[in-house]
Every structure is written in structure tokens, then in C-alpha cells.
Structure 1
Amino acid sequence: MTDTDAAAPHNGPENTARLTARIADLMPGVRADLEALTAIPSVSLDSFDQTQVDRSAEAVAELLRAEGLSVEIVREGGRPAVIGHLPAPDGAPTVLLYAHHDVQPPGDEKDWDSPPFEPVERGGRLYGRGAADDKAGVMAHIAAIRAHDGRPPVGVTVFVEGEEEVGSDSLATILERHGDRLRADAIVLADSTNWDIGTPALTTTLRGMIRVVVSVRTLDHSVHSGMYGGPVPDAITALVRLLASLHDDKGTVAVKGLRGGTASDLGYDEARLRLESGLLDGVQVIGSGDLLSDLWTRPAITTIGIDAPSVDTASNTLAASARAKVSMRIAPDEDPREAYRLLQEHLREHTPWGAQLEVTLDDEGAGFSADASGPVQDQARAAFRDAWDGTEPVDIGVGGSIPFVAAFAERFPEAAILVTGVEDPDTRAHGANESLHLGEFERVCRAEAFLLDRLGRMGS
């Protein structure tokens, strides 16, 4: 890319007006295609029907073919990914557009106000599993291509992954074997969020993550709690005490040696945190008190599952063993393996009563910290301003982990990386009643169409 002033490549308000009108005309069809994709239960977890993931990949491929892209569905030992390509006009750059077509499990359908795979609109939002995360990302890319009548002023490669929600295990192989086809001057990764309804954002930092299984044993078999309770420790109590050691009394992570950082001040207060998270009245906010730093740039530890006898089936016994799955989010610049070592060390030092401990690494992912400056970033911010009618975009961090972003940054170090998204604080991605704000979705589609226009005018 040439180091061009942000305003120079754009052809004034006429392109903005033309593309705005074109996107408005396209939205009914874009929404219909999004609803059709959302109706496919493409849950990539092994325990779900994987033919639905295949079906979803085929549907994405057909949508791309309809826009004139050459398309291939690739597998490298995992779920199907879709690669589509439009060649660049002479002298124009190439832009890689990423999204994923697999989705999270719906959970208990009784928690949903409508069936998770039957998309429905309520109050200006489209509800359904994957409606936002990330099938709206897929359709934002397609809408931007349609806005240019299938002939954008840049080369376009669309890469739609099929296993992001289960860790992207085959992504490294895909990037290795198909990297030449995915190489681009700029990469738009549409799997993040905006700051608020009406305020667009570029995501510039992402926390990494470690997920472990912690197993504790105190007995070679379970025994009668009345006969042996007192001097003999049970594994569940030992596990609970061990998990409690991961935080201090204020709720701050107690694992020594982990990195942390300070987030920018965007005026995020406790009232907004309580509203967006659904924190119950009377439940205290934990941690340091610097909310955005605690959310974006400092470690967090959560127990996300426990294997132990259920309340309904429990007998009066001392449990011989128990285990928990623990998720640790780490600072954007933390080495995941070093974080794993520090977590293991803490658990060994705090295991109570000599209980036998096993810590198994279940998953890991590197964080990401972007260079937020440069001509491509300038064009993205200008496109956002146009799409949101003059509202200035903000740079944000995200506390969740998106390990594939680091993978793209490592594989394509020369490319400018933009992490964008269709979500907002009310989206509830991964939870019941996931939804997409339809007004914001149209702005996202406009912004991407504007961005392709601006990058095309920059030249290669």
C-alpha cells in the first residue's frame, strides 16, 4: 500500500451516496440470505451433527459463486472452510475478508424466547444462534461485494472458516498449504464487536487464553461420609479450596507472574458493566476497579465446568476424585505457554492436604495487539465515519480470545490487519437469545463497501 493521506483516495460524497443507496436496496436480500444461513444448525462441536457444518459450507460457497467468485471448499483434517477469489484490477491491492460459518451449541432451548435455529425479528433485532456470531460477518462481506456489482475496485479473497468455535485446529495447516491463495495487502477479520449502538470500533487488542482440566484425588475409592468424614478429606472440598486460591479476597487473579496492562479510558463505568453483563443487585464487582483494563488487558480466571456427583444423585459419601475445567484469559502480550507454567505452579503450591493433582492443557491461544496506525487503518476509520454518519470510531480491546487473529498476523506479517465486527453489547454471542441489531448491521455492510472503495483508490 502507498502511504496516502486518508482523504485522498475517496471520490467525495458521490461514492458514499451511491454505495449507501445500493446497500439499502440490497438489504432485504442480504437479510433473507442471512436468515437462511442462520437456520442451518452448523454447530462444530463433535457431539453435534457435522453434516450440518458441511451443509453450511456449501451454502456459503453457493452465495460466493453467485457473486462471480471462483470458490473451493477445503479441508485439512478439520471442518470445511470456504475460499473464494476475485482477481484484482491492474494496480489494485487485494483484500482478504475473513468470517466463520460454524456456531456455538444453542444450550438449553428453554432459555431461548424463540427456537435458536428459527431466526425471528423482535424490536429491530434478528434472533438466532449465529445470526451475529458470525454468519452476519459472512453476509457483510457478501453485501460489500454486491454493492460493487460483483466488481469491487480491489482484489477480494473471502475465507470463511468452519471450526472457529472449536479452536481452529486445522487453521495452521490451511494457512501453510493455501497461504499463497490467501495472501493480501489488507485483512479484514469480521468477528468482533462495536463499542455501542451508534458507535463503531476497531478492535486493536485481544486477550489470549489457556484452558486446563484440573483433577484432584484424595481416595482410591469413595467411602461412607459418616464413618470417615472428619479426618479423611474428600476430593470435592479439596478441589473447591484449590479453585478458591486462584483469586484473592477482592477477586483479583492471584497467580503470580502473569502480565497485565492498562486499557485506554473510554468512560466505561460500573453502571454500564452491570447493565451489559446482567450482574444481579447486591453482587459486587471484583478485581482492581479499572474496569476496561480488567476486561481487556489483565488476566481473568473462570471455572467453567465441574465433574462431581450432581445434587439430585449424590449419596452420603466422600468423593474420591473430582475435576474442573478452568479458563484463563491472559494479557494480549502474554506467552500462552509461560502462562500455563505459572498456572500449573500456582495449583501445585496451593493443593490442600496433600491431595493428588493433575493439570492437563485443554487448549491455548495467543493474544493480539495491533499496530493501530497506518494508511489502511486510516481508510477504515474514514469508512466507519461515513457509514455511521460522522460518528468517530473508537479503538477498543476485547477480553475474549480470537486466536486465529494472531495466526493471520504471524503468517502474513506484511498485511495490515483490521479486526471489525457486527456485534454490540446486547448481542449475547454464545448465550441464549443471541441477536443482531439490524440497523447496525446495515451500517457494517456500508462501512465495508466504503472500505473496499477507498482501498481501491489507494492503489497497490
Structure 2
Amino acid sequence: MSQTRPDASSGARAADDTEPAAVVERLRAAVEAGFPSTVADLTDLVRIPSVSWAAFDPEHVARSAEAVAELVRGLGVFEVVDIRRAPIGEGGELGQPAVVARRAARNGRPTVLLYAHHDVQPPGRDEDWDSTPFEPTLRGDRLYGRGAADDKAGVMAHVAAIRALVDVLGSDLDLGIALFIEGEEEFGSRSFSAFLRENRELLEADAIVVADSNNWDVETPALTVALRGNVTFRLTVSTLAHASHSGMFGGAVPDAMLAAIRLLATLHDEDGAVAVAGLASADLDTPPYDEAQLRAETGLLDGVAPIGRGTILSRIWAQPSITVTGIDAPTVANASNTLIPRVAVRVSARIAPGQDADAALEALRAHLLDHAPFGAHVELDDVDTGQPFLVDTSGWAVAEAKAAMAEAWDVEPVDIGVGGSIPFIAELVEEFPQAQILVTGVEDPDSRAHSPNESLHLGVFRRAVLAEAALLARLQARAGE
């Protein structure tokens, strides 16, 4: 469904008062008038099960890309709108389809690149959802569905912000706008570097808005200024050439499960803090955040204590963490009285801003090899790394973004860190070193991205759209830097 808007030229004629406060109020009215169509377009996108993981049908991702491209074409502001893929490595395999678009800047205005992704996480088990994952459902002030928040709302924030901008200022803009809606962020952005290189002229910009993060709460906007990096790998622990009877040899022969449990336990100290030499922490200021808020936002059970040391947010934003996210071993239903010869686990480590991901991997590798119990054989493979990131908050783009957020939300924004990772931001910086990075988002602490019952708070969404529209208006009025 596309939004019905007044003729662009009449919108331009109506915008006689170009004072910033007046423009923001006109944008507010345009966002509000178009909001039902914006939500309708979002629900259409959410209905497409665009899971980019290898085990899922890629046709859904292709259909999602085409739906996004149609929305972008309907804006009427871009000189180029295309769906493109880039190679993954040297094998000739192509990544998932991404939507790119561009309009050139004029008269000394800057160019802004708007990023989001249209692929989504797998839904998991239907029975864990209160409503069908790919049938968007409105309950109260929240829209539920896989991708409703992460990150199809980010896609629609860009689309709706440009719609509002055109309604108020007309389509004959001096502002340069590039658009990059990725199709494989949830599967590791495997073709991202190649895509940037192949489409550099289309995507080059003075400022980059990455709409894939969080807000402090449903009433307070946030600009993400720190992101942890990631190191993930499969750890295989082996102790036997073959399985043996646990009754006949148990007590003399170490099984792989025992060795794996003992080895994994060395990764943390008694407080649950990471105990791997060489993994660093960052020195970040953190706002007040108590244990009660942590429990409310995470569902931490009564009687279960938080882990780690330092302020709670420093543990999430500025310190490393290590989580075992999967294990290959016999299920309880299939368990036999057997000494297991080999166990494999998936390890996900988050590393602090300022730490190099490759150095962190080597620290983890050294620790695991040095602490292998009983001489167990240890192997690391299927490795993936992503660099952490710290935003330089001194630039003009950050100032403009914070001013736009304050105008849209009627609350001053806060700087936040995020415990999760967006590794491709480091690649954006490498390819476009002069561009200023703005990490924004439409999520709130109860959005539950990646989890069952993912949802979008519509009040947050409305204000996020207005904030981006106000930012674009500010950049339209700004002389190039």
C-alpha cells in the first residue's frame, strides 16, 4: 500500500514559513497524516518471511527486496533505484538482494546515506509466540511480528521520513540522499564489503544514518555511540576415538562432556565476569540503571543474581561477555549410558569498544588451548569476527541529529552504548572514512528483537520517523561542509 500525498508542488508552495520550528511542526502534521499508510506499508513488509539464513527460501528475501524497491520508487525523489547483489568471497556465490538508490546533492548541500535492512531473524517456534510471527498483530500500542522492529520499521522510518519531507518541502530538494537497504544483515552481512566497493559511487555520503538500534525507553530518544564487537566460533572438545560404556570405563576415562564443561567453566570467574587474559574493557560513562530495571527488561527470574562487576550498563556496554549459544550432544530423550567422545558448542563472545576483534580471537584461542582439562583435544573453527565501534560525537552531524531528536520527542536525547554488535559499521568507516556515523533506531527495551513476540511501539515509531524527517530538513537547509 502506498501513501496518498498532496502534490509535491502544492506542498512546496504551502511551506512559506521556513523557520526551523515551523518546518518541524509541518513535518509533525505530515508524519501524523501519513502514519496509517506508513503502518499499513510496514505490515505488508512484515508479512513477507524474509529470513536470510541459508536454510530458508531465498525467494522470500527477493520478494521483500522488490517490495522495498517499489516503496522507494514511489517516493519520486531518487534518480536511481535498483536491486543489486554482490559476491561472497571467491567462490562466485552472490549475497542476498539489497535495494540501493541515490539523488545527487546540489548547491553545496551534503549527502546523507540512509541504511536499514529488510531481512529478518528466523521466527523460532510458533508456540512461543502469542500471535503468528509473520502475521502482524496490533495489541495495545505495540505491533507484533518478526521484523516489526528489527529492522523493517527502520526501512519504513526512512521511507516515511522522506515522504514527510517531500510533503512539506517538495521533491525538488538540494539535499543529496543515498539509500542502502541490505538483505543479509541477520546472516552476517557476508557480501557487505564487496557491496560497498562495487556500489561506492552510489553510496558515498557525508553522513550515514544507520537505523538499526535502540532508544533509552518509549519516551526518551537515544543516539548509539558505542557498540561491542563480536567473536563467534565452534569449539570442539574430543577425548575418545569412539564412544565407550560409561559403566565399564566411567571413573577412569574422561568423556568429552566432562572436559567441555570443565573448560567452559574457566571462561568466567566466581562473579560471572569474563576471566580470559587479553580481553579488554572500555572506559565509558554510563547513566543510572539499577537491578530492578535489568530484571524488568530481561525477565531475570526471582532469586537469580546478575553476574559481573561494575555498573550494570558497563557490564553490557563496555566489558566483554562470553555466551554458549548452542551445543551438539545427545538429547536427553536419546541419552544412553555412554562416554561421549566429542562435544561441539557454539561460543559467542562480545568484545569491548577499542579492542581489536582478531586480537580477541587469539586471546580466546590461547585461553582454551591452555586450559584444556585432562589433555583434551580442542579445536576452533567456523570463526566469525566483527569489530566494535565508538562514535566520534564532536561532528556537526551528531549535533544536527540530537537537535532533531529533541524537536521530535520533546525530550533531550541520551548517548547510549549497545551490548550487541553491528560489525558492518566498521566497514562503512573503512570505505567512507570522512563520513560521520549516526546510529539511530526505532526499538525500545521491550521490543525483544530476535526473540519471540518481537514488537514495535507505535509511539516510538512515530517519533523516530519525525526525528529523521527533521534531521533531513536540517541537512536540506545546511551548506555543505
Q: Provide the TM-score with structure 1 as the length reference.
A: 0.96
Alignment of 1:318 with 2:339, yes or no, is yes
Counterpart selection for 1:71 from 64, 78, 81? 81
Deviation of residue 244 (structure 1)?
A: 0.8
Please name the residue that 1:176 is paired with. Answer: 197
Q: Is 1:112 aligned with 2:132?
A: no
- Residue in 2 aligned with 1:3? none
| 1:224 paired residue number | 245
Q: Report the CA distance between 1:183 and its aligned residue.
A: 0.5
Residue 181 of structure 1, CA deviation: 1.1
1:29 correspondence with 2:37: yes
In 2: Cα distance, 1:423 partner to 1:309 partner: 38
Instruction: Decide whether the 8 Å contact of 2:101 with 2:202 is kept in 1.
Output: no
SS in 2 for 1:410: helix
Where 1:422 maps in the other structure, the secondary structure is coil
Where does structure 1 differ by over 4 angstroms across 4 or more consecutive aligned residues?
none
- Identity among equivalent positions (%) equals 56
Q: Give how far 1:374 is off.
A: 1.9
1:408-427, aligned counterparts within 5 Å? Answer: 408-427=428-447
Distance in 2 (alpha carbons) for counterparts of 1:128 and 1:98: 21
Deviation at 1:153, TM superposition (A): 4.7
Residue 7 of structure 1 corresponds to none
**1:51 and 2:59 are equivalent in the alignment:** yes
The answer on whether the counterparts of 1:242 and 1:347 sit within 8 Å (CA) in structure 2 is yes
Please say if 1:393 is aligned against 2:413.
yes
Contact 2:107 2:174 in 1 (8 A): no
1:350-400 superposed Cα distances (whole Å, 9 cap, x missing partner): 1110111111142110011010122111111110000012x1100110010
Match of 1:146 in 2: 163
Cα-Cα RMSD: 1.0
Match of 1:356 among 347, 355, 377: 377
Structure-to-structure mapping, 1:80-229, within 5 angstroms: 80-149=97-166, 151=171, 152-229=173-250
SS at match of 1:212: strand
1:434 and 2:476 correspond: no
- Name the CA distance, whole Å, in 2 between partners of 1:280 and 1:289: 21
Q: Distance in 1 between matches of 2:20 and 2:254?
A: 74
Residue identity opposite 1:318 in structure 2: L
- Residue identity in the other structure for 1:354: G
Which amino acid in 2 is paired with 1:320? P
Cα pair 1:153 1:453 within 8 Å, conserved: no
Q: AA paired with 1:273?
A: L
Match of 2:325 among 274, 295, 304: 304
CA contact (8 A) 1:305 1:324 kept: yes
Q: Tell me, yes or no, if structure 1 residue 344 matches structure 2 residue 365.
A: yes
Find the partner of 2:466 among 415, 429, 446. 446
Whole-angstrom distance in 1 between the partners of 2:63 and 2:248: 57
Q: Which has the higher contact order (CA 8 A, sep 6+)?
A: 1
1:192-249, Cα deviation, whole Å (9 max, x unpaired): 0011111001001100000011101111110111111110111111111111110001
Preserved CA contact (<8 Å) 1:235 1:318: yes
After TM superposition, the score normalised by the length of structure 2 is 0.92
CA distance in 2, matches of 1:366, 1:383: 29
Structure 1 gaps, min length 5: 1-9
